[in-house]
Structure 1
Amino acid sequence: MDDDKPMMEQLTDAVSAAATATAEAATTAVKKVRKAAKKVAKKVAPAKKKKATKTKAAKKATKKSAKKAKKAPKKTSKKTSKKKKAKKAKR
């Protein structure tokens, strides 16, 4: 400890040094995690591309089924909302 500096100044210097050290450690850790995630993504991505090959008929069928699936929840959500409104009105 320095006798020339006041105690509070020494304390704030120590705390700020510790804060900067932890911030630097955190940023380096984040950078390492991002690099690792990119490597994993590169390894996984080609496997998905090979499986994704579909014929035109299969693509059309999936689009039609997706449209039907989108329509059905809308009808049920309207019914449930009406029931909720009726319950609120009874109260």
Structure 2
Amino acid sequence: MERRNRRDEKEEKREKEAEEKKKKKKKKKKKKKKKKKKKKKKKRKKKKKRRKKRKEKKKGKENEKKEKK
């Protein structure tokens, strides 16, 4: 008799745990929200402009060196 009772208790525990897990999963699904993506195109344009300016400076320095020689 004791063994049967223990088995029944274990089965009941498992069933309860399974139900709790299902409930938790349902709650998690409700919490999910989609995040809006931010545009980064403007920053890229600034970087390109900076690169162009640097290249122009380097070219200017190289030209000055050539002129000195």
* TM-score bucket (shorter structure): 0.3 to 0.5
Look at both structures and tell me which one has the larger radius of gyration over its CA atoms: 2
* TM-score, normalised with respect to structure 2: 0.46
Between the two structures, name the one with larger relative contact order (CA 8 Å, sep ≥ 6).
Answer: 1
